[in-house]
Every structure is written in C-alpha cells, then in structure tokens.
A and B are shown apart, each in its own frame.
Chain A
C-alpha cells in the first residue's frame, strides 16, 4: 500500500516543468490559489482550491464540510418527529419552508395521513413565497459577484415584504418551524390574504426593473453568456436538478412531473433555458430561469389565494407520532433543486435514520467539470450561478 496516491491534480509534464531528483514533478507554470473559506463571493464557507495558469483555471477542487452540524445525527436523538423540524429548517436556511414541507411530507407518507385541503393551499402559498425570497437572494448576490451593487439592495427590499408576511403568520423571519407533520402550526392571520395580494401586485413591476438594470445589461450578458456551459447529458449524468438542470434545456420540474400537494390544480409554465444570449446551459440561462420562475411563482400564489378553502388547519396533526417500521423517500422541488428526505422508522417515537438529499451538494459536484478552461472571473460567475447554500451542502 505504499504506492503514491494518484491525485486528480497529477498532470502530465508540460514544457517548463522540472523533475526533481526523486522523480516528482515540480509544477512551475501553474499557481495554486485558495478561494478560501472566507471569501466575499463563495456564498458561505466553501473552500475552492483553484489551479491557475495565468488567468485560466486548469482545475477546481471544492472542499466542503466547514458548516457540518450533524443534522442527521441530531435527528436520531430527538424525542419525537416534530422536534426534527427546527433542525430541518436550518439546513437550507434561505428556503426553510421548503425544507419543512419535504420532511413533513416524508413523515406523513409513513403515517398515511391526509391533510385537509386548506393546509395544502397554505403550504403551496408559503413554499412559493419562499421560492421568490430565495431566488431574490440568488439574483442579488449574483449581481454583487458581478460588481453590480445596487440590485442586491433592491432584492433585499422586496424580500423584506415576504419576510413581513411570514412574520405575521408564524412569528419568525427566517427559520419558521411552521409546516408541521399533519398540518401547519398557525392558521393564516386576518389580513394575510390582502397583504399577499398586495405583494403580488407590488412585485411584478420590480421584476421588470430588475431585468432593466441587471438581466439585459450588455456587460452582465457578456460576463455570463457562454460561460460555464453545462450540456444536457452532463447535467443528467451528474444528477443536477432545479434551475441548473432546467437552464440546460431539460424540461423537468418535480412540481409538474411528480406532483405533491395541490400543484396539479394550478396553471403555470416550467421555465427552461433556451440559449437566448449564448449557448444553452450557460450561466445566463440558469440565472434567467430563476428570474422567470419568480414570475411563475407569483402566478401560482395569486391562483392559490383566490381558491383557498376554509377549514381547520390543525385537525390532522397527530397527538403522538409513532409510525410503523418502514422507510420512505420523498422528493420535492426546493428553490435549488430536488430536495429529498429518506426517513427510516423502527416503530419508536423518534426516527431511526434520516438522510437529506440536498440539491446544492449534488449541484456543486459538477463545478470542476464546467469550469475547466475558464478564467478566474468566470469561476466566480459559475459558482454564483450554481446557487449553493453551504448549510445545505454540509448539513
């Protein structure tokens, strides 16, 4: 076992390289630089080891694990299934409603509970509002990575309205603990429907403004079009999901193709990248898929608000959650992609094993593939377009 390990960075000797007396190759043409865990644009504590030849990226090796908080191990020690929900919130902290919903769906399948229709509508409204909020952050931070400082603040201003809606309903702004197994924790407060409708009418012109300043700005297009092209087959082979997959032209959205909740009752379109400004599957396509998804989410919210039925939201919440022995895998469409929970129950009140399939973790794995040969500035654009949240990558 004394053979030297073949590291992925072991290249063939290139002109300009020297061999030392022990036969090891001294690479003198390339610089290894660390876009370290603390960096203004790696969206969290992600360490990227970048091998550079001048400005051209030869290889990227992502190192993760700086935010690992043992979510899955904690979940095994909780005294009941409801206590896991605050932990699930904190996985992808920018899209908590979607995390809660995915986990609650998994446990409800184990217990064979059917939730009342009002609960389903509320869940859809909350998830779509959360999708808009999460995409706003993705777009705003992507603008900042490119150097446009102003759209970031406009996105956050709009996001404040959504957080106000959430605070009105459940009391918290970021980590909600709202969607419970069997229902939701509070019914919608009086005035919520009007305020949400106001938000929808307020938000549509803001998307247009964002498009004027950022999306169709020629400098932004030149920075992101034809950069980080992810071909269709590579995306499918790497199990990418969400806007990354749809940006490459694959027409796949779990809300339509594997529906959960009441998504099949609404009319909306799945947005895919068409290569309008460059190649199909480049960073601009992925970014634009997110912007257009926000519009579609507004459409869904308006339809849901118009059709929400009356009822008791807490009638199906079980007093004691003790599922039979079994396992279930449930997948949902979170803003970042396919979020799945695989829950194994051994018949007791606390879970035996929970595995979270986080979309950002899987999407990040495609990074070395699509960034070989780009420039350092492009690497920032590519990492931004993958839209990772380290809480989800590391769990």
Chain B
C-alpha cells in the first residue's frame, strides 16, 4: 500500500499519515452498520421492532445517535483527575486501532506487512487495559473503580487463552505474518486452518478436533476481551450502572463506544484470518481477487459480529470468580492439550 502512495505523493510523512488513517475509513462506516445491526437483531429476538422512524427501518438512526452524542455537554466530575479522565478514551481507542495496522483486509492491502503480525496484535491490544483502569480511577466513583478493577482482571486473564489459541493456528501455518497466513489458506474451504489447513488428508482428519476446539476457545476468549455479555461484568448494567463508563458523556462516551465496536471487529478479524481463511473465497478460484477478497473478509467478520450479538442477547452474565475460573481452569488446560496434540501430529 505504501508503495502505491509513495509513487503518487513522493516520500513524505503524508504518505504514512494517509496509510495510518485508511482503516479508519473502514471502521467508521462499519461502526454505524454494527450499531444498526445490533439494534435490529436484538429487537427481533425480543419480538419487537426497533426504530422505524429515522429512515426506512431506522437506517439513519446510528447517524442520529452520533449527532446526539456530539452535541452533548462534556461533563467532568468535580473531583475527577482531569488529565487521566480526558486521556482514557483515547488510550482505549488507540490500543484497538493500532492493532488494525496488521490485519490484512485483502490480498492487496495490509496496513503494515510486518513479520510479527500476530505477536504485535496481542501486545498492542493490551493498551486497552491501561485505558480502562484510567477511566475507572479518574472518575472518582466507587462503582467505576469496581468496574475497572474487574475489567483489568478479566482482560489480562483472557489474554492467555487468546495467545495460546493463536499459537495453535500459527503452528499449522508456520508464520506470524498475517498476510502469509491468509495466503497459506488459499484454494477453497478445505484448506482453511479450522479444517486442518492444506495438509495431507490423514493429518487433516487428526487435526480437525483440535483446531475446532482452538477456534471455539479463541472466539470465547475474544468475547471476553471485548467485555461483552456473558463477560460484561465491567459494564454490568444491573449492578454497576455502567461500570467504568458511568461518568462519561458526549464525545468521550462516543469514543468508548467506537472503541468497543472496533475491538469487536478486531477480534472477529483475527479469528477469521487465522482460522477461516481471511480474504480467501471458500470456492477456491471462483469469486476471488483483491476486491472479492475484501468482500469475503468483511463477510466473515460480520458473521462473527452477528454471532457476538446473538450470544449477548441470549445469555446471562458470569460472575467475576466464575469468569476467572473459566479462563484459568477450563480454557487454558484445554488449549495446552490442543497445542501438545497439534504439535505431535505436525511432527509425526
């Protein structure tokens, strides 16, 4: 991507600024669409229809929501720590947005083609933890502090299953570079890592239970990373009013909101790229190419988003200690077993 821009504009910093801002061009419309999708899917699951007034079937409602948030008063609680309070939404958004640099949207576009893609994503998305802790502390509110503490424990604990599940996929694809991982899985649905990757049939059949398990666990850990039900204790509406978000209003709240949706897509994109073939078409060569690749990628991402919305509106939430129990005593041991088995199968 940078080569194209450099050939147009020359070797200036503007090239890098544009390259860094390009995923934003995707995230902002995606956020609007996801807000609308969540509203409609949740409404139909609950036997009601959501907004019908702003545009046909409420299509313009997310725009109305954004406009409303923009024109709200930007309150800062009296005794709050002003610097931390103002900075925290940006830290949360930065942590998520920076990870978009290493996601391959299509065979022709990846923000930054680094060889450490997976490692970089896991590392930089931990910045979110600092942002949430800042938000909880700086609000000068016991309830926010509670939410922030719970959230820190949760995100830090669920990094382990995430990293281990990614490790399972990386062991099969032999590369941490996400563009390489996507290229590894071209050729059709049977070559996707979740079905064993492009390996001989016997090894594939042996690998499938473990890759499936790792895929499911990656998805569950991803939901926990995003703080969505059933892991949304930090924002538990029934207990903590809004958790670490309680004191925020207006544009800062909009940035938290945007960061949450961006994080949802990040987790979906990573799962889709590593396990479901990324921008590859499931039919092999039919319907493939740079543009089609982008479409397939977005479709797979939105499928995961739909799954996350569906799960959110069905399940109750887990208590903090049950969350921890699940991460350390259920997901991690299963993944250790998977890694051991996958390693054995690949070597033999």
Contacts and interface: CB of A to CB of B under 8 A. Distances in A.
Tell me if chains A and B make direct contact, with any CB pair below 8 A: yes
B223 to A, nearest CB: 13
A135 B237 CA distance: 22
A157 B47 contact: yes
Interface in A202-233: 213-214, 217, 219-220, 222-223
A214 B316 contact: yes
B46 A219 contact: no
Contact of B314 (A39, A144, A150, A376): A150
A153 B43 CA distance: 10
Interface in A115-170: 143-150, 153-154, 157
A270 interface: no
B316 A154 contact: no
B238 A380 contact: yes
A222 B45 CA distance: 24
A222 B48 contact: no
B314 A147 contact: no
A314 interface: no
Contacts of B313: 149-150
Given A154-B47, A380-B239, A147 B315 contact: yes
Contacts of A149: 42, 46, 313
Interface residues of A, number: 29
Interface in A341-356: none
Interface residues of B, number: 27
A147 B316 CA distance: 4
A220 B316 contact: yes
A378 interface: yes
Interface string B316-331: 1111111000000000
B318 A40 contact: no
A31 B319 CA distance: 20
Give the dominant DSSP class at A's interface. helix
A146 B236 CA distance: 9
A378 B241 contact: no
Interface stretch (B12-20, B86-94, B173-181, B225-233): B225-233
A31 B142 contact: yes
A144 B314 CA distance: 11
Contacts of A150: 42, 45-46, 313-314
A146 B322 CA distance: 14
Interface string A39-70: 11100000000000001000000000000000
A217 B316 contact: yes
Given A375-B321, A380-B238, A146 B47 contact: no
Interface of B: 42, 45-48, 142-143, 146, 229-230, 232-233, 236-239, 241, 313-322
**What 7 A-B pairs are tightest by C-beta distance, nearest first?**
A147-B317, A146-B316, A153-B46, A41-B238, A148-B316, A147-B316, A377-B319
Given A149-B46, A150-B46, A380-B239, 19 more contacts: A33-B142, A40-B239, A41-B238, A143-B316, A147-B317, A150-B45, A150-B314, A154-B46, A214-B316, A217-B315, A219-B318, A222-B322, A223-B319, A375-B319, A375-B320, A376-B146, A376-B239, A377-B236, A377-B239
